[in-house]
Structure 1
Amino acid sequence: MTSLPIVAHAAPDDLIAWVHGRPVTVRQFLADAMRLAAALPAGGHVFNACTDRYRFTVGLCAALLAGKPTLLPPSHTPEMVRQLLAFAPDTFCLHDQPDAAFDMPALYYHDGLAATAADGPVEIPRVPAAQVMAYVFTSGSTGTPVPHRKTWGAMAGSARAAAQRLGLLDGRAWTLAGTVPPQHMFGLEATVMLVLQGRAALVAAPAFYPADVSAALAAVPAPRALVSSPVHLRTLVQSGQAMPAADLVLCATAPLGRQLAAETEALFAAPLCEIYGSTETGQLATRRTAQEDTWTLVPGVRLQARPNAAGDDTETWAEGGHIEQPVPLGDAIAPLDAQRFLLHGRKADLLNIAGKRTSLAYLNHQLTAIDGVRDGAFFMPDDAHEGDTEGHVVRLVAVVVAPGVAPARLQQALRERIDPAFMPRPLYFAERLPRNAAGKLPRDALAALVATLAGLQGRAAAPPPGFVIDPGHPAMAGHFPGHPIVPGVVLLDHAMLALGTVLGRPLAVAQASMLKFLSPVRPGERVEVLHQSEAAADGAETIRFTLRSAGRDVASGTLQVRASAPHAGAVPC
């Protein structure tokens, strides 16, 4: 039976991680993994919820050594946990947060489980290539998560092909820092598997905010690479914070525009390599986005055109290399030769309006390229056809995060970039888009935001203003995993945004007092904002508010608001 080493490093004393500034050798890592493997409960599947990247990787390898597949769901909500148990009733959770609570057996991974010594000879374990390493779940169109089976051979082969393409096998000791979580397919491939099979080292601490990214890179030696997503890179570029030089930036999870790629290369003084792939296939191709549109396949992978099921068109399949069975791709691909191709976006995102063609990816790129736009997305509603009885008029919607940009100026800038047939009607402003921790924008979350902005939720009952905090909100990362609770500061921030929307202006809050947080709020729960206001002669205002969710008071307080001129501000999302 074919087997592959669990790490590809040349020697036991090579570095494989940086944990709180401390280097960790392969010798120590293997000792930690073997000790944890011996401590795992009897269940046959592992739900790895560790937020620390080193502990996640130790847990992944411990599960491999114990012959237990790892389950990687798209979120850690209670409902998702229930669905994991429906898929594998013998699942237990491995977590590294002492206050985490999951409705399943659990093992708390703390420093006491680490090996105290790692001396003596080291034999690197080998894992059968056919062994199931993980089931990576996608959300699924019906709401039921869809598992994708990943064997050790396929994941290791993909990582080795990527390491070869990216130049990580040049004999130098690379270190990889990431803004994407290891539970996401790209984070798993680029910050875990690329370390194990690319002879690199990982940075354990999560790096999300600009200061975190700067500190993570500054704390490790060159050569060093940053693994990120377009939404995270845009935040870094727009933060104005200087960044340590990197040797490489890797990006995936959503289409990346050439301008943002060039700005990222300038910020980090490093080439940016964009990776194309999917949960089903893993990594397929790369390109240097700042300089080219052409994608080049990773070693061993091939594309093949086949007739679709209806026989009226062709679709592209990926095969070879690390791909165990041919997989159909949902993208519009134009081959240039056997190794290179152009990508025209998701087939489901292609638009044909008034005889003119484009894609949502192209429109999103044009929207976010406008000066002052921090984030934005076009949306095709399910009931997009309006006008005559034949439904020939298509109405696109767009949501944009552009504080300080006048709507008229944004509309004019957009008219200069896209055909009038694709102008959004309407164009909404929001404080943020409901992206998940990997930077992706789920369609259902965007649809809910559009519905909120359009005032469609409970229109007949005219409910009080309110908001919903998405489980993928950045503030939720590591915040009571398994039973997440929305931080009070996030509740207060969204309450002020909602009140500003009702009053028709952003609130210039001078003081917040008498704040009480009475009951926990979980992500996904709608919070209503009730208020009473008293105006003063100078235009200032006192606002007493109460936040309610599911019939209970969850918070209350008083805001002292300075007089301010009306302004078209952001609305809660």
Structure 2
Amino acid sequence: MVATDAYPLIDYPDLDRVMLYRPGERITAGRFLAEAQYLADLLVGLQPDRPPTAAPVLNLCQDRYRFMVGLAAAAQSGNVSLLPSNHADDTLRHLLECFPDTVCLHDQVEWTLPAPQLAYPTAVPALSSAEAIPAVAGAQQVAFVFTSGSTGRPVPHAKTWGKLVRNVRGAQTALGLDGAVSIVGTVPPQHMFGLESTVLLCMLGGCPLWSGRPFYPADIVAALAEMPEPRMLVTTPFHLQSLLDSGLAIPPIAHLLLATAPLDRALAERAERQLAAPLREIYGCTETGQIATRRPVESLDWTLFPGVLLEVDPLPDDQAADATESGVFRASGGHIEVPIRLADRLDVLSDGRFRLLGRLADQVNIAGKRSALSALTAQLKEIPGVTDGVFFQPDPLPDQAIPRLCALVVAPERTRAEILSALRLRVDPVFLPRPLILVDALPYNETGKLPRAQLQARLDRYRESLKP
């Protein structure tokens, strides 16, 4: 019997039930628990003088099953897991500077980071199935999840086990997942969306999971074919677009779940027509976790998860231009342990639903005129011949008080002059990008986002190429 202030590590009363699928292999809940305990003992052995204050575990496992075993093992041994949303060398080195006692768990062939490591065992001893499901205290801090770094350095946010459990239960109710679905995910498990909607839905929602992280359309199709019906594909607009464009025969999908980047309504409508499956989006952030959902083909308005509330914080007059007319919104209630300010401008409707008006940091003010980077990007993408593009505000040069806007554009058959001429008909001249850079592809990361650091780096290389 689990105490009221604790929750099971997994929600699989039948330990012989299949929990994860790998190529040619089926892993039961009992085997998962036994392997997690084996790895927990290894972690304890690495730090015999540290308990009960155990070192953080940087979980870099790429295989979703190994990641899950690492997360469970860390929770059982009293370690907190560090979950960066990207594995860029600069990101990881910064993280290790912030958490100097970290043990790095990985399943890579080579290891180069200057920190103690534990390579995931390639040969785990034959383990008998666990006989009982461990419990984890609801108040136990089990993870630091990091922001994506799309607007700067990744920032850590603590997650307790109770918060994560309540989050998953709220998601199941909001999404109408009243029965188990088998899940294929393209999002890294370290990312908040990937953690919630693949890993935790498997561990706590009883949904069997594909262990890999397919990227290319053929890999996604192959993974779906390995999973029993009904299936749910957890992915991003970037991956979904590629899958639909591939022309491959896609196994039946019962649910599509998307997040991490803005979704075009036309893409949602096309996906539902082509795949005959309802498509739902998740809204949330690293700080709050997922808090709302919508089905774009039915409505662009978002519905909050059960128990979650939105409240407004009035802003001083000198900050009012960066928010809604009334202020910045805070999310609280439900699985949110303390009120969290949101980074988006919202329009809350009388029935409690809300509309997104853009990011607070997305607003630009040039020569007394205001716009949003997302709105400018939308205008850019509507130009015939432009297949992709993005506006961003770079770092200011030494002689600039306010930096000029920049745009990266994918338009194989258009010239820079043609695109600028078309933009002049669509946006105020003060927002024209200087420079507009033609590129072969935008620097999307694993979750389909465009990290600001990568956009700035592309601009820096362009400027360097112009030097004599």
- Which TM class, normalised by the smaller chain length? 0.7 to 0.9
Equivalent position to 1:402, from 407, 411, 420: 411
Tell me the residue number matched to 2:84. Answer: 73
SS, match of residue 362 in structure 1: helix
Give the match for residue 85 of structure 1.
96
Structure 1 residue aligned with 2:340: 327
Change (3 A) 1:385 1:332: farther
From the superposition, tell whether residues 385 and 8 of structure 1 become closer, same or farther in structure 2 (CA, over 3 Å).
same
- The CA deviation string for residues 29-63 of structure 1, in whole angstroms up to 9 with x for no partner, is 11221122112222521111111001101110111
Give the alignment partner of residue 71 of structure 2, picking from 60, 63, 71.
60
Which of the numbers 365, 377, 380 marks the counterpart of 2:378? 365
Rg (Cα) greater in structure: 1
Q: Is the 8 A contact 2:168 2:201 kept in 1?
A: yes
Q: Could you tell me how far apart the structure 2 residues matched to 1:368 and 1:231 are?
A: 15
Compute the displacement of 1:353 (Å): 5.5
Counting matched residue pairs gives 451
SS in 2 for 1:457: helix
| Pairwise CA distance, 1:273 | 0.9
Is residue 225–residue 247 contact of structure 1 (8 Å, CA) maintained in 2?
Answer: yes
TM-score normalised by length of structure 1: 0.72
Q: Deviations over 1:406-441 (max 9, x none)?
A: 656656765676566645454322112122211111
Corresponding residue to 2:106 among 95, 118, 123: 95
SS of the counterpart of 1:157? helix
Alpha carbons 2:308, 2:336 under 8 Å: kept: yes
- Between the aligned partners of 2:248 and 2:427, the Cα distance in structure 1 is 32
Deviation sequence 1:258-315 (CA, Å, 0-9, x none): 1122222233321111111111111011111233210111111100011236686421
Q: 1:340 aligns with which of 353, 365, 385?
A: 353
The correspondence of residues 414-493 of structure 1 with structure 2, limited to 5 A, is: 422-453=431-462, 456-457=463-464, 460=467, 462=468
Q: 1:85: Cα distance to partner?
A: 3.2
* Counterparts of 1:295 and 1:264, CA distance in 2: 19
Q: How far apart, CA to CA, are the structure 2 residues paired with 1:60 and 1:150?
A: 12
Which one has a larger percent helix, Structure 1 or Structure 2? Answer: 2
Query: CA 1:198/1:390 → structure 2, altered by over 3 Å: closer, same or farther?
Result: closer
- Contact 2:281/2:296 (<8 A) preserved: yes
2:143 aligned with 1:123, yes or no? no
For 1:239 and 1:367, the matched residues in 2 are separated by 25
CA distance in 2, matches of 1:187, 1:403: 33
Give the secondary-structure state (helix, strand or coil) at the position aligned to 1:440. coil
Partner of 2:234: 227
Distance 2:135 2:466 in 1: 60
1:26 aligns with 2:29: yes
- The answer as to whether partners of 2:37 and 2:73 remain within 8 angstroms in 1 is yes
Give the whole-Å Cα distance in 2 for the aligned partners of 1:450 and 1:270.
40
Tell me the CA shift for residue 142 of structure 1: 10
Q: Distance in 1 between matches of 2:296 and 2:367?
A: 31
SS at match of 1:255: coil
| SS at 2:128 equivalent | coil
Q: What percentage of aligned pairs have identical amino acids?
A: 47
Report the Cα distance in structure 2 between the residues aligned to 1:141 and 1:243, rounded to whole angstroms.
Answer: 32
Number of the residue aligned with 1:195: 202
Aligned partners of 1:35 and 1:115 also within 8 Å: no
Whether 2:116 is the aligned partner of 1:105: answer yes
TM-score scaled to structure 2, two decimals?
A: 0.87
Secondary structure at 2:68 match in 1: helix
Select between 36-45 and 434-443 the one with higher mean Cα deviation.
36-45
Contact 1:92 1:104 in 2 (8 A): yes
Judge conservation of contact 1:15–1:200 (CA < 8 Å) in 2.
Answer: no
With over 3 angstroms needed to count, the CA separation of the structure-2 counterparts of 1:149 and 1:93, relative to structure 1, is same
Q: 1:296 aligns with which of 260, 284, 303?
A: 303
Superposed displacement of residue 111, structure 1: 4.1
Post-superposition offset of 1:189: 1.3
1:49 aligns with 2:60: yes
Kept after mapping to 2: 8 A contact 1:242/1:267: no
The equivalent of 1:156 in structure 2 is 165
**Counterpart selection for 2:281 from 270, 274, 281:** 274
- Relative to total residues, which structure has the larger strand share, 1 or 2? 1
Q: 1:179 to 1:417 in 2, by over 3 A?
A: farther
Bigger RCO (CA 8 Å, 6+ sep): 2
Q: How is 1:311-322 mapped onto 2 (pairs within 5 angstroms)?
A: 313=320, 314-322=327-335
8 Å Cα contact 1:258-1:291 kept in structure 2: no
> Root-mean-square deviation (CA), in Å?
2.9
CA pair 142-340 structure 1, distance change in 2 beyond 3 A: closer
